Amino acid sequence: MRLIDADWIVDSDIANCLGAEYYSCVPDVRDMLNDQPTAYDVEAVVEQLNKELELADEEKRRCTVENMLQFDETKGYARGMACAIEIVKRGGRDEK
């Protein structure tokens, strides 16, 4: 399975694929595309990653007081979580 952006598929693309004799089916195909579930819920994924980021930030605070040897590790983990959140929000696309 792969992710597609169904919003990029315009009615003229559908009509070209179906052929002129099936032009009346374009609304049905559009409805079918719109009814397909999203492969994943971006907001739910970001919410889960934010919870992980909060846990990592708490661990960083704990390490500054109790165990400085682990601070760099938890700092790196927190940075990784923050980067993952940004990647998910962008939909995996480059920052451009």
36-45 per-position pLDDT tens digit = 877 777 888 8
Q: Note whether 71 and 60 are within 8 A (CB).
A: yes
DSSP letter at 40?
S
Query: Which residues of the chain fall short of a pLDDT of 70?
Result: 1-2, 92-93, 95-96
Helix (H) or strand (E) holding 28: helix 26-35
pLDDT at 1: 54
pTM (2 d.p.): 0.53
pLDDT at 95: 67
Q: Note whether 32 and 14 are within 8 A (CB).
A: no
Locus of tokens 């009814």: 35
